[in-house]
Chains A and B, each alone.
Chain A
Amino acid sequence: MKLSIERATLLKAVAQAQSVVERRNTIPILANVLIEAEGSDATFRATDLDIEVVDKAPAQVERAGATTVSAVTLNEIVRKLPDGALVTLTEDSASGRLTIEAGRSNFSLATLPKEDFPVMASSDYATNFSADAPTLRRLFDKSKFAISTEETRYYLNGVYMHVADADGGKVLRCVATDGHRLARIDADLPADADGMAGVIVPRKTVGELRKLLDDDDMKIAVSVSETKVRFATPEITLTSKVIDGTFPDYTRVIPQGNTRKLEVDASEFAKAVDRVATVSSERSRAVKLQLDEDRLILSVNAPDSGAAEEELAVAYGDERLEIGFNAKYLLEIASQVDRENAVFMFNSSGDPTLMREGNDTSAVYVVMPMRV
């Protein structure tokens, strides 16, 4: 195999590959990226056996072929090469090495046979649809903060993507929760998406997917089966197993009867929460909200370290309420609000609270209070 490729193109492909491979690996081949040269393209394939990313890039192929090298090392090398360089990759099957040449730099890397590289089995995708990058970006960006890291509740370690019935008809919905906060984000149902099986997209896949979504004009081809999900642009194909588990019935978690309404400027609110939380110990950052007629007092009382209080002008017309929250959760959900005021709907100090942006119900958040 021998090919030449522009450094920036190569870096993009190799960077994506190295982020998929696991850092600690007991199977050496899984640390490698499979490079295949054919026609006028080079493809770069990496996997951790759960996720596979394939990146196709234009290249001048002098001699077709394939080999595998360490994804991390190759990425480091390419990253350090000067911008604009033309990089030539040459496989010497006699020595079992891959040489990398750019300008006056010359590297030689150990390879592993391409036959050993595991290629993910193809799947029959029952649902195939196309979605805009900004749509997917919103669905996953606004929900991923609530993904659980708890291993015992593995079925919460991802974003539940499914078709749901909302007030205005069917929607494409993403839900994530860790039992302490929950995010439910809706988007218009893309054509052909109806009938899609609900799948739990793992946290790592969500992170990798994000790299495909930066271009606003990009259309993403989404394919879903019971066990796998695939996101593809013309260059990059990201295939992932989905979490084999049942996502809990989140609908009963979302409070319906909360009537006490607080409306507040989200960024002012977030800043105030952040300020008062400064005095609290790292571990139990509990912030108390005292609500009175059009007045919100945020306070933190940490016996060992200190106390803080701040008052905000808000819209609140209900009876007096005191309720506590984990400051981190309040900050996270407040930072999801980007256009209008944040609207909080409370019930009592022990019940889950709902938050949304203005009157927009296409993104709602639920957060569990904390005893203060």
Chain B
Amino acid sequence: MDCDAFYASVEKRDNPDLEGKPVIIGGGRRGVVSTCCYIARIKGVRSAMPMFQALKLCPEAVIVRGRMDRYVEVSRQVRTMMDELTPTVEPLSLDEAFMDLTGTAKLHGAPPAVMLARLTKRMSDEIGITGSIGLSHNKFLAKVASDLDKPRGFSVIGAAETTDFLRPKPVRLIWGIGPAAQASLEAAGIRTFDDLLRWDRRDLNDRFGSMGERLYALARGEDARRVSAHTPVKGLSNETTFHDDTNDTDILDGHIWRMAEKVSGRAKAKDKAGRVVTLKLKRANHKLLSKRQILHQPTQLADTIYRTARGLFDQVGDQGPYRLLGVGISDLVPAGDADREGDLLDPDAGKRAEAERAADAIREKFGTDAILKGRALR
């Protein structure tokens, strides 16, 4: 199930004034389009498009700053409905999830297709948002099917027609085949699934390494991945696109701190800590730089994440100006294993950690803006 223009639909539902207008969700003049409604899409606006470009295509668009809390709330309502169909729901994001409906026909007294049609009807009647369904015999095909006739789509790819269906389709249909992989496939003369079918397994393996095995299976519409309700969180990260490209270390430092604080806040909420800190920078020419550091011990402290990310930033040197900065933690462990050891060479670290925990307690009681570091104002 894939919700149709989810964020925009939630906004339209909450604000009837937006009805019939092109709506773009995203940040400021310099930001990128996070998502947009179908009216804006008709004008050519797409996700991840720079905002100025989107506004050129669709000047009358209403830009709405995303309200993540609200989307999470609505997503939970949808999730509850899906949970009634099957215990095996694997969310991909707030607005998209795999459901394994194998063996549920008897329980519900109706085949999966009927139950899914009822689900989308309930979503639109009770929550006020619409979704598209892709029904098939594995994850790969279900995902492909869900994209076939959005919005309010309902597509079924049966086992018997799988190969015939795929044959003429371009290989970029495969999730994870980006422009680079596409180019390397094209260099081998592979554009469609039909081209792919002509390759034998060994040749694909030799030419494409680990991807070869997957291509061989997907060409035949085979995908053995299970729908798993317990996909572990691998990492937490936050990023921001600036209003103006910048090289100013003080401004960037402020961004590093705010991102570190956000990541730390989410880690604390989830009771997780990370062993790896990653810094991501996008230069003005859109080139991405990414650096990571393995920590001596897992952390969930904003102070440690910030200091590590700042150290990574200093290693990058002056290669800006930058347009985007992101900070993340990964290799997650339970929070109980985090921040247990002090640093001989940084005797103040303990005091800073205590100060951070005290500030967290104040925020808990008086709200997130009750106390903040001066650094956050940069």
Give the B-binding residues of A (Cβ under 8 A).
150-153, 177-182, 248, 253, 283-284, 286, 303, 324, 326, 350, 352, 366, 368-372
Contacts and interface: CB of A to CB of B under 8 A. Distances in A.
A179 B344 contact: yes
Contacts of B342: 350, 352, 368-369
Nearest to A150: B296
Contact of A284 (B293, B311, B337, B346): B337
Given A152-B293, A350-B350, A368 B337 contact: no
A302 to B, nearest CB: 10
A181 B346 CA distance: 13
Given A152-B293, A180-B296, A368 B344 contact: yes
Contacts of A182: 344
Interface string B338-370: 011111111000100000000000000000000
A253 B337 contact: no
Q: Which of B293, B336, B342, B346 has the most CB of A within 10 A?
A: B342
B315 interface: yes
A242 to B, nearest CB: 20
Given A152-B311, A350-B350, A180 B333 contact: no
A313 to B, nearest CB: 29
Nearest to B297: A284
B327 to A, nearest CB: 16
Contact of A326 (B311, B336, B341): B341
Given A368-B341, A372-B340, 18 more contacts: A150-B296, A151-B293, A152-B293, A153-B345, A177-B344, A178-B296, A179-B296, A179-B344, A253-B345, A283-B333, A284-B340, A286-B340, A303-B336, A352-B342, A368-B344, A369-B342, A370-B340, A371-B339
Nearest to A178: B296
Interface in B304-320: 308, 311-312, 315
15 contacts: A152-B312, A177-B345, A180-B341, A180-B343, A180-B344, A253-B345, A283-B298, A283-B333, A284-B297, A326-B341, A352-B344, A368-B344, A369-B341, A371-B339, A372-B340
A286 B339 CA distance: 12
Nearest to B350: A350
Contacts of B311: 152
A361 to B, nearest CB: 19
A152 B295 CA distance: 11
Interface in B244-288: none
B345 A179 contact: yes
Closest 5 CB pairs of A and B: A371-B340, A179-B343, A284-B337, A152-B311, A370-B340
A364 B120 CA distance: 71
Nearest to A148: B296
A80 to B, nearest CB: 33
B315 A152 contact: yes
A42 B343 CA distance: 49
Nearest to B294: A150
A179 B350 contact: no
A150 B296 CA distance: 8
B82 to A, nearest CB: 31
A177 B345 CA distance: 9
A197 B350 CA distance: 34
A148 B179 CA distance: 41
A283 B337 contact: yes
Contacts of A284: 297, 337, 340
B336, B344, B350 — which one has the most chain A CB atoms within 10 A of its CB? B344
Contacts of A150: 296
A370 B339 CA distance: 9
A286 B346 CA distance: 21
Nearest to A152: B311
Contacts of A283: 298, 333, 337
Contacts of A369: 341-342
A151 B311 CA distance: 10
Contacts of A371: 339-341
A370 B345 CA distance: 15
A371 B340 CA distance: 5
A350 B353 CA distance: 13
Determine which residue in B297, B308, B340 has the highest number of CB atoms from chain A within 10 A of its CB, and name it: B340
B317 to A, nearest CB: 14
A253 B333 contact: no
Contacts of B339: 371
Contacts of B297: 284
Nearest to A303: B336
Contacts of A368: 341-344
